[in-house]
Structure 1
Amino acid sequence: MSESRSESYKAAGVDVVAGYESVKLIKPMVESTFIPGVIGSLGGFGGLFQPNLSGMSEPVLVSGTDGVGTKLKLAFLMNKHDTIGIDAVAMCVNDIACCGAQPLFFLDYIAVGKNIPTRIADIVSGIAEGCRQAGCALVGGETAEMPGFYPEDEYDVAGFSVGMVDKPKMIDGSRLVPGDVLIGVASSGVHSNGYSLVRKTLGINEKSVGRYMDEFGKTLGEELLTPTKIYVKAIQRLIAAADVKAISHITGGGFYENIPRMLGDGIHAEIEKAAAPVPPVFDVIAKTGKIPERDMYNTFNMGVGLVVAVAADDADKALAALKDAGETGYIIGRTVAGDKGITLK
């Protein structure tokens, strides 16, 4: 690689040598995520993974892709880049886990205005941490230096993950019946959705992110940059302990969009809003922006990052499994007969 350099390309804004330095810095982080099945190391043209199919009658691959959105603006303002990668991983692997699948590997895409190797290393450190939390391997990625497209101090991060589940054990909501219990699993805050509304409502800028907020016990920026919770291992605990019939990851679109996605035809969800505490950050957003309650529940997770449906007889076992996994669960509703959709009370 030492012979690969171009002064002409560098003059145009792309420094290939900086790219090689980035790879050198991130290689130990990437390798720290390797799990059985990873073949080779960083630097090939493709990430290689050999899945273990033993014990599976009909293995099904489950994939997910997503980005972090305008939450990145907080990272830019605070010049803190080592957590945003957790969000990128979370948005992909949580979706995969909703099917009952175990994420196997993850690939990232980082597009930058200027390749600053230490900043790339910070971003990838978060991605690697997210992969470790999810129990999946970071098997590759791409860093694209795009001068003139992104400002020098800005970037975008997206990711892609693949998992696997045995088809007979897939979770798809098809076995839901009226009377099943809906359990909400606590979020870590706003997670990675609705940040365009957050930034507009709270007037996010370099000054405001440093403002200490008594409601949070930290600065506004620290609260808003809190990483999205990764629920993969908690979901696996749940599946082992109880008959999980459906799971919904509460992302953009909040309750109204995401909960119906896990329901079968003829099943309606009734949700008790008061059953799960709403974190202070959502109260601040709603009051500051005079945002109607329905819009809040149609945009944010409101303190519930995951909704899990189990039979009523399994509710206690599910709550205990969540507690054992370090998560907090609340019984927030039930399923009833009716049109697919939700009612918030």
Structure 2
Amino acid sequence: MEEAHPPKAMTYAQAGVDVDAAARLVDRIKELARATHRPEVLAGVGPFSGLFRLSGYRDPVLVASADGVGTKLKIAALLGRYGTVGVDLVNHCVNDVLTTGAEPLFFLDYLASSGLSEDENTAIVQGVASACQAAGCALLGGETADMPDIYGRGDFDLVGFIVGVIERGQIIDGNTIREGDVLLGLPSSGLHTNGYSLARKVFGVGLGGDPEEERARLHRTYPDLEGTLGEALLAPHRCYYNELKPVFDKLKGIAHITGGGIPGNLPRILPQGLAARLRRGSWPVQPIFRLIQERGNVAEDEMYRTFNMGLGMIVACAPEEVEAVRSQVPEALVVGEVTPQKGQQRAVID
């Protein structure tokens, strides 16, 4: 009769989760987060929850949003460039809450991965922390999870949660927009964080093919691009908070041009019965968009409902406020006006 052998001792690290490495990472994140703290932070990274004291408001309204970086992460992983995706995440979320005129208060991130090194994880959170600092937003906490078997080795996802505040009487929600109001556009820095599934398909990158071949495609240069394709695709999502904050009192509506492009986002700030008419050619469209269109034979309408097409933010103001807004935000371009709605379309680009 065979003797039974005791099972081989197993550890959590052998299963793909190194708790010692996780503890070291938390210590590094604590230092990064501490640099973002505002006086209102009572407890940050370390305890089971963050604490933030709200004060100095008469009738405060909290403004919250959550978003992710999407498949732009595939480009970052291929190139081994992890420092900018955290910036993308924070700036996207800050832009979402600023559409109400809100001040960003604090941010939490969720980073789930398999097989990322301690330094790679730190680089991602360092990007989060630097963008929080730039926006005056505290990195209050988050979660960094090793998830083998859910994610393939080297894969990761990055999600953020933001809370801001605004006085009830100062909320910008588009309700006061009227026919004849002017639409001003602020340039984007590129794709920002939307449309990457189409862009990756067009260029054949981040699709699970041979990594060396895909990296070679990202290192390629094109005549109209200032750098490589990879650099153009990884250009960080631009944050507009510090530029627009001084003119919040002059704005009637603010649209963050993200997934769905101009047609999918601009109508979200318009009262019923009104539409937006934009003049094609009134703002520059960066070369990366035309390159995607040409290489993928993508129809013009499909481009505009997938990408921001060069405008990261569109704001509405009264005609008499245009000069004042543009004097404080020189990059703002007059791109269109508010008109009565005719038919189903509420954002017309002609």
TM-score by length of 2: 0.92
How much does 1:65 deviate?
0.2
Is 1:229 paired with 2:238? yes
Is 1:302 paired with 2:329? no
How much does 1:7 deviate?
6.2
Aligned partners of 2:116 and 2:154 also within 8 Å:
no
Aligned partners of 2:109 and 2:160 also within 8 Å:
yes
Is 1:188 paired with 2:189? yes
For 1:305 and 1:188, the matched residues in 2 are separated by 8
Aligned partners of 2:43 and 2:49 also within 8 Å:
no
* Partner SS for 1:103: strand
Is 1:37 paired with 2:40? yes
For 1:41 and 1:104, the matched residues in 2 are separated by 13
Aligned partners of 1:25 and 1:117 also within 8 Å:
no
For 2:280 and 2:93, the matched residues in 1 are separated by 27
Q: What's the counterpart of residue 142 of structure 2?
A: 141
Is 1:315 paired with 2:322? yes
Alignment of 1:119-268 (within 5 A): 119-204=120-205, 205-240=214-249, 243-268=250-275
For 2:40 and 2:222, the matched residues in 1 are separated by 46
* Partner SS for 2:237: coil
For 1:185 and 1:41, the matched residues in 2 are separated by 34
Aligned partners of 2:84 and 2:127 also within 8 Å:
yes
Q: What's the counterpart of residue 346 of structure 2?
A: 341
* Partner SS for 2:329: helix
For 2:253 and 2:248, the matched residues in 1 are separated by 11
How much does 1:213 deviate?
2.6
1:293 to 289, 300, 311: 300
- 2:244 is aligned with what amino acid? I
How much does 1:260 deviate?
0.3
Aligned partners of 2:282 and 2:335 also within 8 Å:
yes
Stretch moving more, 203-212 or 135-144: 203-212
Q: What's the counterpart of residue 84 of structure 1?
A: 85
- 1:229 is aligned with what amino acid? R
How much does 1:57 deviate?
3.2
For 1:312 and 1:303, the matched residues in 2 are separated by 23
How much does 1:36 deviate?
2.3
How much does 1:29 deviate?
1.3
Stretch moving more, 130-139 or 243-252: 130-139
For 2:39 and 2:238, the matched residues in 1 are separated by 24
Deviation by residue 1:217-259 (Cα, 9 ceiling, x = unmatched): 211001100110011111212215xx20000000000011100
How much does 1:130 deviate?
1.4
Q: What's the counterpart of residue 3 of structure 1?
A: none
| Residues 82 and 284 of structure 1: CA distance in aligned 2, closer, same or farther (over 3 Å) | same
1:27 to 27, 30, 33: 30
Identity %: 41
Deviation by residue 1:178-230 (Cα, 9 ceiling, x = unmatched): 11000000101110000000000122221111112331221100110011001
How much does 1:341 deviate?
1.0
For 2:279 and 2:39, the matched residues in 1 are separated by 43
Deviation by residue 1:121-143 (Cα, 9 ceiling, x = unmatched): 10001101111222101010100
- 1:104 is aligned with what amino acid? L
Gaps (5+ residues) in structure 1? 1-5
Deviation by residue 1:43-93 (Cα, 9 ceiling, x = unmatched): 0101111122x2x33210000000000000010110000000011112211
How much does 1:41 deviate?
3.6
* Partner SS for 1:300: coil
Deviation by residue 1:8-63 (Cα, 9 ceiling, x = unmatched): 211211111110111122222111111121112420101111122x2x33210000
Aligned partners of 1:133 and 1:230 also within 8 Å:
no
Gaps (5+ residues) in structure 2? 1-8, 206-213
How much does 1:172 deviate?
0.5
Aligned partners of 2:100 and 2:172 also within 8 Å:
yes
For 2:168 and 2:10, the matched residues in 1 are separated by 53
TM-score by length of 1: 0.93
2:333 to 317, 330, 334: 330
How much does 1:115 deviate?
4.7
Q: What's the counterpart of residue 114 of structure 1?
A: 115
- 2:170 is aligned with what amino acid? K
- Runs (4+) off by over 4 Å: none
Q: What's the counterpart of residue 51 of structure 1?
A: 54
Q: What's the counterpart of residue 96 of structure 2?
A: 95
For 1:17 and 1:115, the matched residues in 2 are separated by 14
- 1:155 is aligned with what amino acid? F
For 2:302 and 2:231, the matched residues in 1 are separated by 24
Larger Rg: 2
